[in-house]
């Protein structure tokens, strides 16, 4: 895993962390550290999730009923909280994914307009 | 679901452990791996706090914000101390008065009695509205009839009051009030002894031993809680009894007595009149509901049974009396006399609260107008309406809490005063103490006030042109001005209601106090010299004869006489009058014989008390047993029953069965002026007097003094004790003081309501003055312009004054309309609602208008002295 210099790192867009967490957990339950690492790895270390935002976000999602938390034992033989998607969480992920692709599409059209007269 | 704080720590620790392990696996040494992991994590505490905050409830955040607002409000209010103090004191008056009166209302009307299962205790009474008798009580045959027909009442207890001369127990001989009860009385009442035992079925009937229970009050006050009192023998008049126990503290009803004894102690209770006469009514009846029976069921059953009794004995129930049976819970019966006055007080207190609130609303409104700039800035900086409202709420909360605290402090002494006042109507008020209910009421009122006050000021609206509020200087919008005036008018209106009420009570009181009574009020002292001590008999008359002879010779005594009745003090003790007939008068068909008050007096009585003889002669010492039976009638008897009022030498006789079956004619030898010795408000006064030496006993001594009437009291007492050491001599007082004493509940009513009215007036004056002062200070520029274009200062003065008068006049009109509506509504709930006459109404209005003019003077003067140049430059 190549280390990215700090200035190339991207700030997370507001409101996207929840979606990223839900997406990460689609592959199965994980603990907080693992989720952070997974997001970082999948974004080729471009996205770095601050623990100060990650944990409150996890708890917020549990409170909303989209995640379920259970105590387990981690690879470090430590008590760790494992988070798992609930059915409501899965539905929410689908909604967020839809919204996200619409947003990307819309922003893309604004930023890179197709040549006029093509349609 | 909410994770524990330890779990949050565990989760963070788990994260660090994994992070460190990964770093070590990548080849870092443990110490630097640990440091790097911690560094990467960032601020541990901050993270944990934000995790915890996720789980926190929304209201906690709101509470925190409110806390901030409260601190801010406190600082802001400390800058306007004068205003804050006025608001706090005004609220404290309103809250304190309400809290105090509510505790008394709760204590007297709502709190349960100490009696076991007190909600199953009922009080049964017989009333005769036709002859004005609210509570006729029962005769023993009536009680027997009702008892034998009742199934909804498990047991009955009866109670009648007699006076005994009590000797024994090592205290001075004294007259005591005693309850005479049947064997089941205490069981029905559900009371317990604190010492010994109470009376039971074995003490009932004429063959039992004499037994008496001491009441707690008598035991603790007269006997210093003597623990050895049980088993001692006491003499009660002619009989003796053993003290068997002491009753627990309980509400004394119907009479506050010193002892409660069984039937054998009272010869009267064993006599034929008591046992067989259906119209000899002197007993109160209590009942305990049978299991499962309700008060309504008992009422239905007993009323039906009673109707049967009335039908079976038409001779004992005249159709005109219109008798009926009334059944109520004992608790309600005891509280009933105090209910109206307490509810009136509660209403007066709530009116004061409304006035206080609207006054405070005024002050707050005026302040918020001055703050409009500040609020506009805050709104411009992004404070939403909620946040602004919260700022205002915090401020009024601080004010109201302070008001409530001070109010509760004020309420403590007030409770004592009001309880003492209410004790004149219901004995239950004596046990009222300050309790936590005062706090609850105070807190509730404060919250109500705070919320109301926070919604008084208008918020700067987002649509309003922003520049207006941000500009310096104070401008009053027409809306605010209208609100200020409405609040001031409200205060005047409510004050008017209170003032008119107080004025009405005061005029009634003055009328009653100054009314002519027909007696010589100042120079005559009345004594209770009860005859029961020496028994009843002709020997008694000799005792009185001797006593009057010796007292007549004392220095400072102008005259001495006997009677059976002290005006007003003994009112009601002989019922609603006794039926009689006279020569030549025949009642119209369907009408009963006339009723007259029966009075026994000695020779010279009329001269001593100052009642003039209109015709004929006074009684003399020759009018004694064995000589011709004679009577003196009051003027109204003579005028109503005899042609041309010529009553002399005609005959009268009692027709009431109480005097035996055979009519005994008495020749009328004199006519005296009318006096009403029963009621304070002078009414019709048909009275028939008979000479003491033809009847037997009198028991009331009247002494006419030449100087200070109370100076002769010790000599009189000594003289009587010289003749008979055991003879009680009690309650010496001039007629004037006796009447004042009887009047004192009315006086207290008037004073308490006048007190409330005074507070209300004070608050209203502050309110009107405040509104005008504020309106003047905000219109300095307008006045400056007016002066500059030639308005005379006195025109401005008149203008402001007339504004004050207009507020007051509208308030008075609204108060009058509202007051009449209120009285109309109240008359549906209460029986005796009086409307104030024209004079009290006019004087209340005059006081209010005068107060409004007074309150407007200072602001008006300031308006007329506005400096033109300064006013025009001020903006």
Nearest to B15 among A33, A56, A69 (CB): A33
The set of residues, in sequence order, having a beta carbon less than 8 Å from that of A83 and lying 6+ positions away, is A21, A25, A29, A30, A31, A32, A35, A58, A61, A62, A67, A68, A69
Average pLDDT estimate for B407-429? 77
Element (H, E) at A35: helix A32-42
Q: What is the pLDDT of residue B463?
A: 47
- Average pLDDT rounded to a whole number, residues B243-253: 88
Top pLDDT among B633 and B768 is at: B633
- 3-state secondary structure labels for all residues of B197-216: CCCCHHHCCCCCCCEEEECH
**Option in B12, B19, B51 nearest A59 (CB):** B51
In this prediction, residue B333 carries a pLDDT of 86
Residue A8 carries which DSSP code? G
How far apart are alpha carbons A96 and A93 in whole angstroms?
5
What is the rounded average pLDDT of the residues A7-25?
79
CA–CA dist A32, A83 (Å, integer)? 8
For residue B125, how far is the Cα from the chain centroid? 23
Look-up of token digits 């049967």: B308
- Residue B633: the pLDDT is 93
- Taking an 8 Å cut-off on Cβ atoms, the answer to whether A31 and B7 are in contact is no
pLDDT at B297: 92
Distance CA B552, CA B558 (A): 7
Does B24 lie at the interface with A, CB-CB under 8 angstroms? no
CB contact under 8 Å between A55 and B21, yes or no, is: no
* Other CB atoms within 10 Å distance of the CB of residue B534: 17
The Cα-based distances of A72 to A37, B6, B52 in angstroms read 18, 15, 21
On the question of pLDDT at B538 being above 60, the answer is no
Nearest CB neighbour to B17, from listed A34, A52, A78: A78
Contact at 8 Å (CB) between B626 and B693?
A: no
**Average pLDDT value for residue range B488-497:** 82
A118 — pLDDT class (breaks 50, 70, 90): very low
B47 contacts A56? CB cut-off 8 A: yes
Least CB-CB distance to B55: which of A52, A59, A76?
A59
SS3 (DSSP) at B610: coil
Residue A81 and residue B50: Cβ atoms within 8 Å?
no
Token readout for B177 is 């009030």
Residue B671 has pLDDT above 90, yes or no: yes
**Interchain pair B47, A55: CB under 8 A:** yes
Write out chain A residues lying below 8 Å of B47, CB-based: 51-52, 55-56
What's the mean pLDDT when you consider all of chain B? 81
Contacting residues of B for A34, CB less than 8 Å apart? 18
Sign of CA dihedral A67, A70, A75, A78: positive
pLDDT at B371 over 80: no
Choose the most confident range, by mean pLDDT, from B39-53, B572-586, B648-662.
B39-53
**Residue B299 dihedral angles phi and psi, to the nearest 5°:** -65, -45
Residue B145 CA to chain centroid, in angstroms? Answer: 37
Q: Between these two residues, A89 and B112, which has the higher pLDDT value?
A: A89
CA dist., res. B501 & res. B498, Å (int): 5
Residue B603, CB-side half-sphere exposure with 13 Å CA sphere: 15
pLDDT tens string B849-875: 888 888 788 878 877 777 777 766 655
What is the per-residue pLDDT for B531? 65
Global ipTM: 0.84
Contact B47 A59 (CB under 8 A): no
Percent of chain B with pLDDT over 70: 89
Query: In this complex, do B53 and A56 lie within 8 Å of one another by their Cβ atoms?
Result: yes
Q: Which residue has the higher pLDDT, B238 or B669?
A: B669
Q: Is B307 on the interface with A (CB under 8 A)?
A: no
Q: Chain-centre distance of CA A113, in angstroms?
A: 29
- Better pLDDT: B250 or B366: B250
Q: How far are the Cα atoms of A107, B629, B684, B762 from residue A115, in angstroms, in the given order?
A: 16, 138, 115, 83
Percent of residues, chain B, with pLDDT higher than 90: 15
Question: How many angstroms separate the CA of residue B59 from the nearest CA in chain A?
Answer: 16
Question: Between B716 and B499, whose confidence is greater?
Answer: B716
- Residue B324 pairs with which residues in a beta bridge? B127
Interface test with A, best of B54, B57, B58 (most A CBs within 10 A): B54
Task: Measure CB to CB from residue A52 to each of B3, B43, B53 and give the nearest one.
Answer: B43
What values do phi and psi take at A93, rounded to 5?
-60, -45
Instruction: Look at A24 and B794; give whichever has higher pLDDT.
Output: A24
Cβ–Cβ of A31/B21 closer than 8 Å?
Answer: no
Segment B477-498 shows an average pLDDT of 78
Residues of chain A contacting residue B46, judged by C-beta atoms under 8 Å apart? 52
Q: Which two tokens stand for residue B354?
A: 């409304």
Instruction: Give the integer Cα–Cα distance in Å for B234 and B228.
Output: 14
The residue assigned the tokens 């209340």 is B844
CA distance B530 to B768: 61
Q: Which domains does chain A have, with CATH numbers?
A: 15-111 (1.10.10.10)
Give A-chain residues touching B15 at CB under 8 angstroms.
31-33, 51, 55, 80
Residue B22: closest C-alpha in chain A: A76
CA-to-CA dists, residue B842 to B768, B819, B836, B855, angstroms: 20, 14, 10, 20
Residue B745 has pLDDT above 80, yes or no: no
What would the two tokens of residue B332 be?
A: 């309600």
Enumerate the residues of chain B whose CB falls inside 8 A of the CB of residue A60: 54
* pLDDT at residue B135 tops 50: yes
Q: Between these two residues, B213 and B529, which has the higher pLDDT value?
A: B213
Q: Is the Cβ of A31 closer than 8 Å to some Cβ of chain B?
A: yes
Test B18 with A76 for CB contact under 8 angstroms: yes
Q: Residue B601's beta-bridge partner residues?
A: B563, B691
As a whole number of angstroms, the distance between CA B527 and CA B701 comes to: 5
Q: What is the dihedral of CA B201, B205, B209, B215, to 10 degrees?
A: 60
User: Cβ of A3 under 8 Å from any chain B Cβ?
Assistant: no
- B600-630: pLDDT as tens digits: 898 899 999 999 999 999 999 888 888 899 9
- Run of H or E residues at B506: helix B478-514
């Amino acid at each position: 895993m190549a280390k990215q210099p700090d200035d190339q790192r991207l700030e997370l867009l507001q409101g996207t962390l929840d979606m990223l967490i839900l997406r990460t957990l689609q592959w199965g339950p994980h603990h907080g550290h693992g989720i952070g690492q997974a997001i970082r790895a999948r974004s080729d270390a471009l996205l770095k999730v601050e623990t100060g935002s990650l944990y409150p976000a996890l708890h917020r999602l549990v409170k909303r009923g989209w995640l379920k938390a259970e105590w387990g034992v981690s690879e470090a033989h430590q008590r760790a909280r494992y988070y798992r998607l609930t059915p409501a969480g899965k539905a929410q992920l689908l909604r967020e994914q839809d919204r996200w692709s619409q947003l990307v599409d819309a922003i893309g059209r604004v930023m890179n307009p197709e040549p006029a007269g093509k349609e | 679901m909410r994770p524990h704080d330890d779990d949050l720590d565990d989760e963070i620790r788990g994260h660090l452990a994994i992070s460190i392990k990964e770093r070590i696996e990548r080849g870092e040494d443990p110490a630097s791996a640990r440091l790097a992991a911690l560094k990467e994590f960032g601020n541990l505490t901050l993270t944990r706090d934000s995790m915890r905050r996720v789980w926190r409830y929304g209201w906690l955040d709101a509470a925190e914000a409110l806390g901030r607002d409260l601190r801010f409000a406190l600082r802001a209010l400390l800058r306007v101390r004068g205003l804050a103090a006025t608001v706090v004191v005004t609220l404290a008056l309103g809250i304190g008065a309400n809290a105090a009166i509510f505790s008394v209302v709760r204590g007297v009307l709502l709190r349960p009695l100490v009696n076991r299962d007190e909600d199953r205790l009922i009080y049964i009474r017989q009333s005769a509205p036709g002859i004005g008798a609210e509570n006729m009580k029962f005769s023993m045959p009536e009680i027997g009839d009702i008892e034998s027909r009742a199934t909804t009442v498990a047991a009955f207890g009866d109670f009648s009051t007699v006076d005994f001369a009590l000797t024994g127990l090592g205290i001075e001989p004294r007259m005591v009030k005693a309850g005479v009860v049947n064997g089941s009385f205490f069981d029905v009442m559900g009371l317990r002894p604190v010492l010994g035992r109470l009376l039971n079925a074995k003490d009932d009937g004429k063959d039992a031993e004499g037994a008496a229970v001491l009441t707690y009050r008598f035991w603790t006050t007269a006997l210093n809680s003597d623990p050895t009192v049980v088993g001692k023998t006491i003499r009660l008049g002619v009989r003796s009894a053993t003290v068997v126990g002491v009753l627990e503290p309980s509400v004394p009803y119907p009479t506050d007595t010193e002892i409660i004894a069984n039937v054998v102690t009272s010869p009267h209770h064993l006599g034929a009149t008591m046992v067989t006469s259906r119209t000899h009514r002197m007993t109160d009846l209590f009942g305990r509901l049978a299991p499962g029976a309700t008060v309504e069921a008992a009422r239905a059953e007993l009323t039906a049974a009673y109707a049967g009794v009335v039908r079976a004995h038409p001779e004992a129930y005249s159709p005109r009396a219109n008798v009926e049976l009334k059944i109520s819970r004992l608790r309600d019966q005891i509280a009933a006399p105090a209910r109206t006055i307490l509810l009136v007080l509660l209403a007066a207190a709530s009116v004061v609260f409304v006035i206080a609130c609207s006054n405070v609303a005024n002050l707050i409104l005026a302040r918020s107008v001055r703050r409009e700039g500040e609020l506009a800035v805050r709104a411009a900086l992004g404070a939403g309406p909620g946040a602004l409202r919260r700022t205002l709420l915090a401020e009024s909360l601080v004010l109201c809490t302070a008001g409530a605290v001070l109010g509760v402090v004020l309420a403590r002494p007030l409770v004592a005063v009001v309880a003492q006042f209410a004790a004149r109507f219901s004995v239950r008020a004596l046990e009222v103490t300050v309790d936590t209910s005062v706090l609850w009421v105070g807190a509730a009122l404060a919250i109500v006030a705070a919320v109301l006050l926070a919604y008084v000021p208008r918020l700067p609206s987002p649509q309003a042109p922003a520049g207006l509020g941000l500009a310096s200087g104070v401008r009053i919008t027409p809306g605010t001005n209208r609100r200020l005036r409405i609040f001031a008018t409200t205060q005047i209106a409510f004050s008017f209601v209170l003032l008119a009420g107080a004025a009405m009570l005061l005029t009634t009181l003055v009328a009653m106090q100054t009314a002519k009574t027909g007696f010589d009020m100042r120079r005559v002292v009345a004594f209770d010299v009860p005859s029961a001590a020496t028994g009843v008999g002709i020997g008694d008359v000799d005792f009185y004869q001797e006593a009057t002879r010796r007292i007549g010779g004392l220095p400072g005594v102008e005259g001495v006489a006997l009677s059976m009745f002290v005006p007003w003090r003994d009112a009601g003790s002989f019922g609603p009058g006794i039926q009689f007939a006279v020569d030549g008068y025949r009642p119209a068909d369907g009408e009963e014989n006339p009723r007259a008050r029966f009075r026994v007096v000695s020779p010279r009585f009329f001269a001593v008390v100052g009642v003039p003889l209109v015709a004929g002669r006074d009684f003399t010492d020759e009018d004694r047993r064995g000589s011709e039976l004679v009577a003196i009638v009051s003027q109204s008897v003579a005028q109503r029953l005899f042609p041309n009022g010529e009553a002399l030498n005609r005959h009268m006789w009692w027709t009431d069965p109480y005097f035996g079956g055979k009519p005994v004619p008495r020749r009328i030898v004199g006519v005296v002026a009318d006096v009403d010795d029963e009621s304070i408000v002078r009414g019709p006064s048909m009275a028939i007097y008979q000479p003491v030496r033809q009847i037997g006993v009198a028991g009331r001594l009247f002494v006419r003094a030449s100087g200070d009437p109370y100076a002769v009291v010790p000599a009189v007492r000594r003289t009587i004790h010289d003749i008979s050491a055991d003879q009680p001599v009690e309650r010496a007082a001039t007629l004037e003081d006796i009447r004042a004493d009887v009047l004192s509940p009315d006086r207290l009513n008037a004073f308490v309501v006048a007190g409330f009215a005074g507070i209300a007036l004070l608050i209203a004056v502050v309110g009107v003055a405040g509104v005008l002062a504020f309106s003047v200070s905000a219109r300095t520029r307008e006045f400056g312009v007016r002066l500059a274009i030639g308005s005379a200062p006195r025109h401005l003065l008149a203008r402001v004054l007339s504004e004050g008068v207009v507020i007051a006049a509208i308030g008075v009109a609204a108060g009058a309309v509202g007051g009449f509506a209120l009285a109309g509504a109240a008359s549906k709930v209460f029986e005796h609602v009086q409307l104030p006459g024209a004079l009290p109404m006019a004087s209340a209005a005059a006081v209010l208008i005068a107060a409004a003019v007074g309150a407007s003077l200072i602001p008006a003067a300031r308006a007329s002295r506005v400096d033109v140049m300064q006013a025009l430059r001020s903006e």
